[in-house]
């Protein structure tokens, strides 16, 4: 469990860096590592993934990740809605509700 926590934190930080750099390809590579390692994302990692894809301008991927979140909370909804708004899709962001 202890090691899993550190992996989750590490991947979240990597996604945050991708978002800051607007690096879609890097986000996809990191996402594939999450899948290959069979890591079970926590809420923070899910939101980090959605946020990274949104910041990289790929709303479609952000929605795909969002749809896989088992338990959506205010953080995940906020990431998706604000991402749509930031990308000029305010109508879609609000209609997601």
Q: pLDDT tens digits, residue range 51-96?
A: 999 999 999 999 999 999 999 999 999 999 888 888 787 776 555 5
Q: How many Cα atoms sit within 13 Å of 69 on the Cβ side? A: 24
The burial class, CB within 10 Å (0-12 / 13-18 / 19+), for 5 is exposed
The pTM for the full model equals 0.87
Is the pLDDT confidence value at 1 over 50? no
pLDDT, residue 34, reads: 95
Q: Within a 10 A sphere around the Cβ of 59, how many other Cβ atoms?
A: 21
Report the distance separating Cα 15 and Cα 63, nearest Å. 16
Is the pLDDT confidence value at 2 over 50? no
pLDDT band per the 50, 70, 90 thresholds, residue 97: low
Q: pLDDT tens digits, residue range 26-43?
A: 999 999 999 999 999 999
pLDDT band per the 50, 70, 90 thresholds, residue 6: confident
Buried b (16+ CB within 10 A) or exposed e, 6-43: eebeebbebbeebbeeebbebbbebbeebeeeeeebee
């Amino acid at each position: 469990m202890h090691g899993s926590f550190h992996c989750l934190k590490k991947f979240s930080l990597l996604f945050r860096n991708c978002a800051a750099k607007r690096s879609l390809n890097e986000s996809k590579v990191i996402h594939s590592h999450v899948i290959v390692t069979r890591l079970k994302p926590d809420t923070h990692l899910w939101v980090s993934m959605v946020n990274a894809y949104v910041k990289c301008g790929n709303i479609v991927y952000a929605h795909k990740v969002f749809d896989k979140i088992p338990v959506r909370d205010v953080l995940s909804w906020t990431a998706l809605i604000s991402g749509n708004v930031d990308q000029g899709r305010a109508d879609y962001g609000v209609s997601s509700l």
